[in-house]
Amino acid sequence: MTAAAAFHTAADSVAPKAPAGSGVTFDRVSVAYRGAVVLKPLTMTVAAGEILAMIGPSGSGKTTALRAVAGFVRPASGRIYIGGTDATDLPPCERGLAMVVQNYALFPHMRVSENVAFGLKARGAGRDLIARRVEESLRIVGMSQYSRRFPRELSGGQQQRVAIARALAVRPRVLLLDEPLSALDAQIRRAMVEEVARLHADLPDLTILYVTHDQSEALTLADRIAILKDGELSAIGRTGELYHRPPNRFAAEFLGRANLLPVVVEGKARDHGFVGVRIGDAKVVVSGDDHPAGSRRLMCVRPQNLTLTGDAERSNSIEAELREIHWQGELTHLVAAIGESILRVVATRLPNPPARGDRLSFFFSPSDANLIVEEAGV
C-alpha cells in the first residue's frame, strides 16, 4: 500500500463538525475593508478534487478571496459554501480546512512532529491516530527523518514540506495554499512545484485552492485558473483553454506572453470555427466564431507559436521587419514590427539567425490564434 493509499483508507475523521464533502462555492461573495471594496461580488466554484489557481497582480483580491474561505475575513455580502454546506458564519476552526502560507508559519517552539500533530491534537484526536497520521504525513512529503528537529534547523524547502505535512495530517476538505512557494529560491521552487503536482496525483480527492502571482506555478499545477484584477474575476477556465484562448486582453497578457495584433474580421472561413481576418495587407485565418464581418478585434498568438519555417498552404503567414534578436541559450527571442504593432517570437532552434532589418515571414497555425474583443478585457 502506498503512503497516499494509506492516507486515504483510514476513515477516522477528527473534524466531526466540519461541513461534509469538499469543494468550494463562492456565491456573489464581496469583501470590504472600512467601506473600500477589495473583492467585488465573486461567483465561482472549485470542484471536489480540483486544483484551482487564483492568480492576479498585487491588490487583485486573490488572497482576500482565500481568506474569506478560511474565515479570516467576513464577506460584506454573499455566501461561501464548503462541500455544499453554508460555511459563511462558521469560525475558521470548524471549517475543516488547512492552510499553508508563504512564510510556512511553523510553530518555532515545537519540533517537526509536534507541528504536524498540532491540528490533530487541537481536534482532540487519540494518541494512536496522531502517531499514525504524523508518520504518514511526514512520509508523504519525505520528511520522516527530520521529525525530531525544530523548524529553525530546516532549510526553506524542508520547512515548506513540513507545513504541507501539517496541513495534510488533518485531512482537510480543502487545502488552501497562499503563495506557498514564493519565499523559496527559483531552483527549489521548481522542485517544489513538481512535488505539489506529485502530491495531488497521489491524493486526487484533495481540493486545493492555490493563490499565486506566479503564472508558471499556476500553469503547472492547476486544473483551472481564475484570473483576478482590481478585486474582480477577469477570467476563469481550464488551464490549457485559458492559456490558448484567453477571453480578454488582461488574461492574455497576464498568463504568459502574448502578441495582440489589431485585425479586422473578413468573415467566416471555410472550416467551421474559424474566421478570416485582415492584418495590414495580409489575410489570415484564426479560430473564432460569432465575430461579425467588418468588426475590429485583437488577434492573440503566443510567441512560441510563431515560426520562421512553415507550410504556406496550410499555415498563416505574416510579414514583419526584424528589429531585435536576443540569443538566450536554449531560446532565441525575436522582436519584429508589423506597421505600428510589435510581434514577439520565441524560437527554440535557429540554425541561420536572421539579421536586424530583414523582412521575415512568420508562420502560425490557425488554431494557435484567437480573437479578443478589446473592450471585454477588464
Binding site for another protein (CB under 8 A): 14-15, 70-72, 91-101, 103, 105, 107-109, 118-119, 121-123, 150-152, 166-167, 170, 176
Residue by residue, DSSP assigns 239-294 as HHHHHHS-SSHHHHHHSS--EEEEEEEEEE-SSTTEEEEEETTEEEEEE--S--TT
Residue 355 CB, shortest distance to another protein, in Å, is: 54
Q: Which helix (H) or strand (E) holds 241?
A: helix 239-244
State which residue, 176 or 299, has the beta carbon closest to another protein. 176
State which residue, 105 or 346, has the beta carbon closest to another protein. 105
Give per-residue burial for 86-102: e unless 16+ CB within 10 Å, then b.
ebbebeeeebbbbbbbb
Residue 55 CB, shortest distance to another protein, in Å, is: 21
State which residue, 121 or 314, has the beta carbon closest to another protein. 121
The answer to whether 124 touches 160, Cβ cutoff 8 Å, is no
In the block, cell 502571482 appears at 213
State which residue, 14 or 29, has the beta carbon closest to another protein. 14
Residue 32 CB, shortest distance to another protein, in Å, is: 16
Residue 290 CB, shortest distance to another protein, in Å, is: 44
Cell of 125: 484526536
Angstrom distance (rounded) from CA 131 to CA 122? 14
Residue 93 CB, shortest distance to another protein, in Å, is: 5
The answer to whether 155 touches 142, Cβ cutoff 8 Å, is no
State which residue, 121 or 323, has the beta carbon closest to another protein. 121
State which residue, 167 or 219, has the beta carbon closest to another protein. 167
Angstrom distance (rounded) from CA 224 to CA 69? 18
State which residue, 169 or 222, has the beta carbon closest to another protein. 169
Angstrom distance (rounded) from CA 143 to CA 155? 12
Say how far residue 277 (Cα) sits from the centre of its chain.
Answer: 31
Residue 335 CB, shortest distance to another protein, in Å, is: 42
Give per-residue burial for 159-177: e unless 16+ CB within 10 Å, then b.
bbbbbbbbbbbbbbbbbbb
Residue 256 CB, shortest distance to another protein, in Å, is: 31
